[in-house]
Amino acid sequence: QADDGYRLWLRYDPVGAEHLATYRARVTQVVLERESPTLLAARDELVRGLSGLLDTGVASVDRVTQSGAVVIGTPRSSDLIARLGLDLTEAGEEGYVIRSGQVDGHEATIVAANTDVGVLYGAFHFLRLLQTRQPIDRLAIAEAPALDLRVLNHWDNLDRTVERGYAGQSLWDWHRLPGLVDPRYTDYARANASLGINGTVLTNVNANALVLSTRYLEKVEALADVFRPYGIRVYLTARFSAPIEAGGLETADPLDPEVAAWWQAKTDEIYETIPDFGGFLVKANSEGQPGPQDYGRTHADGANMLADAVGDRGVVMWRAFVYSAEDATDRHKQAVNEFVPLDGTFRDNVLVQVKNGAIDFQPREPFHPLFGTMPETPLMMEFQITKEYLGFATHLAYLGTMWEEVLSADTYADGPGSTVADVIDGDLHDYPITGMAGVANIGSDRNWSGSIFDQANWYAFGRMAWSPRLGAEAVAAEWVAQTFTDDPALLEPVVEMMMDSRQAVVDYMTPLGLHHLMATGHHYGPGPWVGDLGRPEWNPTYYHNADAEGIGFDRTDAGSDAVSQYHEPLATQWNDPATTPEAFLLWFHHLPWDYTVASSGRTLWHELVVRYSRGVDRVEAMQETWAGLESYVDPERFESVSQNLAIQRDEAQWWRDASLAYFQTFADRPLPEGYAPPE
Ligand code: GCU
């Protein structure tokens, strides 16, 4: 049966015979006493999902009439649930409790929460149990999200192009909104709610002030109305110079009272239109975007002015991705230099949003040195789900492993065991508000993400934003079971392939800590030879520094000294190649071609060749794995994955051969035995 991937992980195809009888006995009806838009969404999802999974109509009723009832609600909306007297403390504002028990003398499953959205999340959790073929007869689950804000960042323009988007056009059909409300918006909301994503920034960080106009706010309102029942708040990017462009003022100086008044009025207008508007995301004084520094003000001046306009109605997410032509030091250091002195000066409703690494969403980066150095300012994580630097939607790279690596990295901010996850979930510094953002990989393609396997990255982002300590492997297994099958004959090899996939990309693009070697502008394919771009830090040559002596970026105290921005013992360890993890060797060091790589005893040149080649081999291994799974996958999805893998195989080779041929002009050494490219 053909399958275009539209249903994502919410497929709800019938479970196999081995589960059907037990599941059917436990699930016969969905019970909802009093309705609200969110509770209806929960009920409808359960009815749709359970009917599909059990291959039989599951009834929707308002009281328990038989055994197998799935009773959903809050103590406020349901007398049944109120009477059960469940302890819902652990569920908090957005979490839930799922219990097996008796209701009115019948066997039942209770999905209860303090809020309607908690019930919705609980409903999706219950469905996931069946989708992943877990037992459902003795449930005692209590869950709550670890982070407050779990937000997608769409880099979508108003003309429906998507910056760094590889999945078609923007989903938002601005031209026809608010008149035409595409049912697809609801499916988008369902998919997000199934993961616990509770916010969406609709517009590009390289912002257009037009979206703040009254006409566009009506369009935003239409989207917000669709998303609201699913617990998703809408946010917009605020172009810092909007008071000039949209307000006709002469300045956007955040300390100018007229500017503040303009933002206040504009923000009030937004809240009149969209009462639960989430707030603003701002990219300022970065890559040519306007910002407070244009007026001699700081990031805090800018963020606080907007935060005052928003007040207790929402938040300002102020990005720390800053780099400017004027700053001659290593771009790696700029965010710490600009933001750490401002620690403690931001309003309570400001979060500083930090990319996972200091350069730019490379296949591998050490964690950003801001994590652990701003105890007085809530830092939220920014991951990039869309694969700008990892082969777009063509190459298969599961990013769960990258995110786990970052989240579990130890910052040593408060001694050992101060992980990045501890920073962003507020544990370490007691942040009053926490969050994680993911740059979306979603577009108008039928399969949403440009490829089937890129759906896994959307999925993993949502799950890890809910629970940053969920391991990448567990998340991959969940996704595979829901997207393909729980049959271990497919699940095990596919999970293994996913777990290995991002390392493959690191190997064939940027092994041993190399970075930013992608071709100019589009960032697809190799371009390490480019060195003539307008600004030094745009040039791959600036990052790899290959010369007759060696290769790598010296960030030690003899170089840019970026290492000093990390806490001890990292600063000392990473200052010395002997104690730097090999994964980051050339990130922090410029080393001679004959430097001995400790793990293998090979020279650096030899090791580079081995790693580049290993990357190609890993893709071949993925191809082989996938080829063996034809009988477990529908032909349409099987073919599309096979074809992408074939492209990836060829392009991995292209990366390897082009990079090595180029670096060889400096290394001036032969390829080691057995590593000649094919004729
Ligand atoms: C990268 C990306 C840009 C984007 C920027 C950002 O540099 O290439 O397209 O605007 O990140 O995060 O602001």
* Cβ-based neighbours of 201, under 8 Å, separated by 6 or more: 151, 152, 153, 154, 235, 236, 237, 281, 317, 437
What does the pLDDT read at residue 502?
98
Q: Is the peptide bond before 178 cis (omega within 30 degrees of 0)?
A: yes
pLDDT band at 678 (very low <50, low <70, confident <90, very high): low
* Cβ-based neighbours of 20, under 8 Å, separated by 6 or more: 14, 54, 55
- Structure-block tokens of residue 24: 């059917």
CA distances in angstroms from 574 to 127, 407, 412, 474, 513, listed in the order given: 46, 19, 13, 31, 12
**Rounded average pLDDT over 298-324:** 96
Enzyme catalytic residues: 287, 360, 388
Q: Are 386 and 165 in contact (CB under 8 A)?
A: yes
What atom of ligand 1 comes closest to residue 289's alpha carbon?
A: 13
Q: Is the pLDDT assigned to residue 233 strictly greater than 80?
A: yes
Encode pLDDT of 160-179 as tens digits.
999 999 999 999 999 999 99
What does the pLDDT read at residue 537?
87
Encode pLDDT of 67-82 as tens digits.
999 999 999 999 999 9
Closest CA to 263 of 250, 247, 277, 248: 247
Q: Is the pLDDT assigned to residue 491 strictly greater than 60?
A: yes
Encode pLDDT of 501-518 as tens digits.
999 999 999 999 999 999
**Rounded average pLDDT over 298-315:** 98
Q: Is the pLDDT assigned to residue 646 strictly greater than 80?
A: yes
pLDDT band at 679 (very low <50, low <70, confident <90, very high): low
Ligand 1 centre from 669 Cα, in Å? 36
Q: Is the pLDDT assigned to residue 116 strictly greater than 80?
A: yes
What atom of ligand 1 comes closest to residue 388's alpha carbon?
A: 8
Q: Is the pLDDT assigned to residue 538 strictly greater than 80?
A: yes
Ligand 1 centre from 323 Cα, in Å? 11
pLDDT band at 1 (very low <50, low <70, confident <90, very high): low
Ligand 1, atom 10: nearest CA belongs to which residue? Answer: 206
pLDDT band at 353 (very low <50, low <70, confident <90, very high): very high
Ligand 1 centre from 163 Cα, in Å? 8
User: Which of 153, 161, 164 has most ligand 1 atoms within 8 Å of its beta carbon, as the pocket-test mutant?
Assistant: 164
Q: Is the pLDDT assigned to residue 2 strictly greater than 80?
A: no
- Structure-block tokens of residue 119: 């019930």
Q: Are 397 and 386 in contact (CB under 8 A)?
A: no
Closest CA to 370 of 423, 317, 296, 292: 423
Q: Is the pLDDT assigned to residue 397 strictly greater than 90?
A: yes
Ligand 1 centre from 497 Cα, in Å? 29
Q: Is the pLDDT assigned to residue 602 strictly greater than 90?
A: yes
User: Which of 360, 387, 516 has most ligand 1 atoms within 8 Å of its beta carbon, as the pocket-test mutant?
Assistant: 360
Query: Cα(338)–Cα(366) distance, rounded to whole angstroms?
Result: 19
* Single pTM value for the model: 0.98
User: Which of 156, 201, 205, 331 has most ligand 1 atoms within 8 Å of its beta carbon, as the pocket-test mutant?
Assistant: 205
Higher pLDDT, 141 or 537: 141
**Rounded average pLDDT over 586-598:** 98
Query: Cα(648)–Cα(641) distance, rounded to whole angstroms?
Result: 10
Measuring from each residue's beta carbon to the nearest atom of ligand 1, which residues come in under 6 Å? 163-164, 205-206, 283, 321, 360, 388
What does the pLDDT read at residue 534?
87
Q: Are strands 59-61 and 29-32 parallel, antiparallel or unpaired?
A: parallel
What is the Cα 671 distance to its own chain's centre?
39
Query: Cα(219)–Cα(210) distance, rounded to whole angstroms?
Result: 12
pLDDT band at 535 (very low <50, low <70, confident <90, very high): confident
Ligand 1, atom 12: nearest CA belongs to which residue? Answer: 321
Q: Is the pLDDT assigned to residue 273 strictly greater than 90?
A: yes
Q: Is the pLDDT assigned to residue 441 strictly greater than 70?
A: yes
pLDDT band at 640 (very low <50, low <70, confident <90, very high): very high
Ligand 1 centre from 595 Cα, in Å? 34
**Do the interacting molecules here have an ipTM over 0.90?**
yes
What atom of ligand 1 comes closest to residue 206's alpha carbon?
A: 10
CA distances in angstroms from 42 to 13, 111, 127, listed in the order given: 19, 10, 11
Ligand 1 centre from 473 Cα, in Å? 29
pLDDT band at 329 (very low <50, low <70, confident <90, very high): confident
Sign of the C-alpha dihedral computed for residues 376, 378, 384 and 388 taken in this order: negative
pLDDT band at 324 (very low <50, low <70, confident <90, very high): confident
Residue 17 sits at φ, ψ, to 5 deg, of -55, -35
Q: Is the pLDDT assigned to residue 374 strictly greater than 70?
A: yes
**Rounded average pLDDT over 539-559:** 97
% of the chain exceeding 90 in pLDDT:
97
What are the structural domains of the chain?
17-143 (3.30.379.10), 149-477 (3.20.20.80), 512-553+590-667 (3.90.1330.10)
Encode pLDDT of 31-63 as tens digits.
999 999 999 999 999 999 999 999 999 999 999
Q: Which helix (H) or strand (E) holds 70?
A: strand 69-73
Sign of the C-alpha dihedral computed for residues 321, 322, 323 and 325 taken in this order: positive
Sign of the C-alpha dihedral computed for residues 200, 204, 207 and 208 taken in this order: negative
Which residue has tokens 């931001």? 346
Rounded to the nearest integer, the mean pLDDT of the chain is 97
Ligand 1 centre from 169 Cα, in Å? 18
